[in-house]
Amino acid sequence: MSGIFVTGFIATAITLTGAPQANAWGTSGHNIAAGLAESRLTPTAKQEVDRLLAGESKPTLSGVSTWADQIRSDGSALGKESGAWHYVNIAENNCSYDPAVNGNNGSNIVEALRNQTAILADRTQSDASRNQALKFVVHLAEDIAQPMHGGYARDRGGNSTNVTYLGSKTNLHSVWDSRLLAAGKKSDATYVKELTAQPTPALGSTDPAAWVKESCNIAVSPGVYPANSTIGNEYTAKYLPVAENQLKMSGERLARLINTALANG
């Protein structure tokens, strides 16, 4: 339970500080997807992940899964530069990622994932660079599955679409980040166990541009933006399974991505 409250507190804090676009999945979402990915790593990839994360206070994929959000507010140059790496708003362009139309001069989640994956896979890079790249990859491969992170520019991925969900005034981005999952009333560990036990589905393309298109298609599907701004159990019943499925896919794809990038021990 404490995880849910912590997530809620962080979401509130971000709202109050007026961050331009809130972090994607809350802590729980990142924990769950990373926990699932951890169990799918090949021995070769796991060995290299363990080596790259050896100096971390929590040297696991889950343990580093929210680092990329934490640095956004730490005042660092990297935190500022990487702020736009967490999303790309493509809904106004028929859910197509087009660098010339919605690519934000290369500063977006598709290019960031491509670039950081390349650094992770490149053994001529320093361990420090590859440690950082791994932390970005873990986080962004999860963020990209949050439908509002491939959504509309006009409401900043749902951040300025206000709703009242289960009696709380919030916005649609926050509902998809953490509030749907919290309404599921399961611990992160239970979610990891359940999603890990499900068979691995067909994972489709390895291209992040295809993943964000899928997220966008969810964001624009009828009903995700509710006709009435007061929503509750009926919204949970319809969309919690969608959010869970997105977490499942992101964890599985993250594992595939890391296993491929670190295949050559």
Q: Of the ranges 113-121, 135-143, 161-169, 243-251, which one interacts with Zn ion (CB under 5 A)?
A: 135-143
**Amino acid at position 166, single letter:** L
The Cα–Cα gap between 260 and 39 comes to 15
Residues 62-81 binding Zn ion (CB under 5 A) are 69
Residue 37's Cβ-count burial label (10 Å; 0-12, 13-18, 19+) is buried
Structure tokens at 177: 């980040």
Binding mask 190-229 for Zn ion (x = CB under 5 A): ----------------------------------------
Beta bridge partners of 168: 165
Q: How far is the CB of 158 from Zn ion (least distance, A)?
A: 14
Rounded CA Rg of the chain: 17
Identify which of 131, 121, 128, 136 has the alpha carbon closest to the alpha carbon of residue 65: 136
Rounded Cα distance, 49 and 2, in Å: 28
C-beta of 69 vs 244, nearer to Zn ion: 69
By the rule CB under 5 A, 174 interacts with Zn ion: no
CB–CB of 31/3 below 8 Å?
yes
Please, which residue, 41 or 144, has the CB nearer to Zn ion? 144
Instruction: Tell the smallest beta-carbon distance from residue 36 to Zn ion (Å).
Output: 18
Interaction mask 3-42, Zn ion, x per CB under 5 A: --------------------xx------------------
Q: Residue 86 CB, nearest distance to Zn ion (Å)?
A: 4
Cβ closer to Zn ion: 31 or 48?
31
130 binds Zn ion (CB under 5 A): no
Compare residues 10 and 24 and give the one whose CB is closer to Zn ion: 24
CB of 132 to Zn ion, least distance (A): 15
Q: How far is the CB of 110 from Zn ion (least distance, A)?
A: 14
Q: Which run of H or E residues covers position 168? A: strand 168-171
Q: Which of 143, 155, 177, 252 binds Zn ion (CB under 5 A)?
A: 143
Instruction: Take residue 48 and report the two structure tokens written for it.
Output: 């290299």
Q: For residue 86, state whether it binds Zn ion (rule: CB under 5 A).
A: yes
Q: Using CA atoms, how far apart are residues 85 and 189, in angstroms rounded to an integer?
A: 28
Instruction: Considering the complex, state which of residue 84 and residue 231 has its C-beta at the smaller distance from Zn ion.
Output: 84
* Cα–Cα nearest to 68, from 132, 144, 158, 150: 132
- For the bound state, the minimum distance from the C-beta of residue 136 to Zn ion, rounded and expressed in Å, comes to 10
Kindly give the residue spans of alpha helices, DSSP state H, lying in 144-177. 172-174
The binding site for Zn ion (CB under 5 A) comprises 23-24, 69, 86, 143
